[in-house]
Chains A and B, each alone.
Chain A
Amino acid sequence: MTYTPQLRELMKKVEETRPSRVGVHFPRMSQEERQDVLQKFHPDYIEDGFRELKVGVNKGSRLPNEMADVFESYSPLRDVELDLTADPDYDVDVLIIGGGGAGASAALDAHAAGAKVMIATKLRFGDANTMMAQGGIQAADKENDSPAIHYLDVMGGGRLENVPELARALVMDAPLVIKWLEDMGTMFDKKEDGTMITNHGGGTSRKRMHAARDYTGAEIMRTLRDEVYNQGINVVEFAAAVEVLLDENGRAAGAVLYNLETEEYLIARAKTVIIATGGSGRLHYRGFPTSNHYGATADGLIMGYRAGAKTIYADSIQYHPTGGAYPPQLLGLLVTEKTRGLGATPLNIKGEQFVYHLETRDVESSAIIRECEERGMGVPLPTGITAVWLDSPILELTHGEGTIERQLPAMLRQFQRFGVDIRKEPMLIYPTLHYQNGGLLIDGNGHSAVENLYVAGEAAGGIHGTNRLMGNSLLDIIVFGRRAGRDAAAKSKDMPGPEKLTLEHVKAYHRELEEAGAAGSRVGPILLPHYTHR
């Protein structure tokens, strides 16, 4: 009995309206309605949450305040004496920073191309948003679908602001990625004859969402990780990169790593460096809860930026429409989009649907915020916030009993742990901070504006424009991880190792910060969020 008597009373409305909602399609918004709800309610449009960046190559660009705080900060190495002329602790062809899906994919392809590869990661290998991605991975691998149709969905969903070259690479590689994963023994949902079972996600025009129950990212991550270990690739855990090293010609040449356990700094020299550090949800923009991994603190963004990489759409943040709102232990936790993909709809306090359930994430989130904030039709919770219902029990009516247990086992288990049976009781949800749409700008090979510096995964930007569709992130980490890995390996073959390692760019950045009076006492990357005594 987790829901309070007041909530149980309100839940009756949902039960009352349920039979009349089965099989009824709520209309999709027009383009004008979408634009209107976004501008009035999406946090990206609320100006006091942003400020102009005072330093670096993108000086003057708009960033969320919390990200700007990280960008306008001193390096943790400011008062640290490092001997960069000594023999490095590690010396490799390709240094990959980050042990999520992008890093693992990059490592496998760079290794396959014959490079000496090393992964340095802040926490454990596999501690990443990849592990938490539930709903699926997109690829146009059905006869009624094509990469071009996928491309149109990606561009339209991204408000046509995507870098066309990157969106093209994403969709064209997609079926190849699925094949690669299938051959590696990834356990996708399939029919008897091997046909991949695919569904819709928000903003898709074809059913191209491949899933592994609702543990899709976890299944992909554990398979990639297992293969990295099988290949004998060196993985150094609890070694957070804090700064990219450059050579005397301004090319990437390694990184300074911080051993979180012994609190020592280590030098990794490399011919090429791939930043695959993921997102930044743990910066909690505008105080939003997040669905992100503990380590998602924008480390790669600030390191890459100090080294001279450019940002793109760093002010574009994705709020996932269905974050857990109650019980409080589930606050911010991702309720997979697969739940809506299967047909669960958001409902207001009267048990009425107020938005088509598969609008793109930005529009869906904005509509939920509007329902609660402007229309006052949200469900008040004992914790003091408001939320809307997500009618999961309707799935048992529309798809048959047992659907939730089969298709959404992770969701079922998580809510059960805190006393809610989503087969019988609707969920309470509110948008949660989910994804960094932008990041460091790359080209089709994952290369950044800095020579020999690559970026892959959520840290990279441009692929999704200013709004990513479900299932394109698991895809992008592998597409661009592999592309970066292959290109970095090829490049490092024809290249002698860097002669001299420097951190002069960091000193220059510090001078710029001081001239702009921008940093105060802040230090970044922050590496870990601080939740003590909250």
Chain B
Amino acid sequence: MNAPAINTAFASQAAFRALMEATAQPGEIRTASALGAPAPLSPATAALVQSLTDYETPVWLDDAFARVPAVAEWIRFQTGAPIVQEPRQAAFALIADVEAMPDVTQFALGSEEYPDRSTTVIAQIERFGGRAFQLGGPGIKTSRTFAAEPLPNDFVQRMAVNRELFPRGVDLVLVAGEMMAALPRSVRITEGF
């Protein structure tokens, strides 16, 4: 028998709960990890993919992920999620090269009536540190300092565009190794300390 060494129900719950808490408190860092995913999938990205995707959730891969066939194979085998070519069709978009990530308007943004029909973008970065931002909005008592790099140069403008679309828009999850932080569409973000 190929019984899994860990209880998949618990692993899946732990990764979801980490992201739920991260989304409820934008900028707070939580951890999750899954074993055995091929590079460049980081442990937290792999854990979120296993926890949240299945045959109902089309997944889009950026060029850096799509270049490695093992990534798509691992996702298909582990979750059964279809891999799509258009970011607009995706429930989840995985980004390995964050500086080359498409503009938010390239993804599914939902409609005014159904803003939930939008893409969740999971983007891998190097670390939570360096370039600093101020966050505000739901989930944040007054304001929260948040740091992450690398990110596109015009990151704040992109997030402002996303906020302008509210309640439409994408929800962004940043991942560094086993760590994750969420910037849901409700967040207000400015540059600086």
Note whether A and B form a binding pair: no
Contacts from B to A (Cβ < 8 Å): none
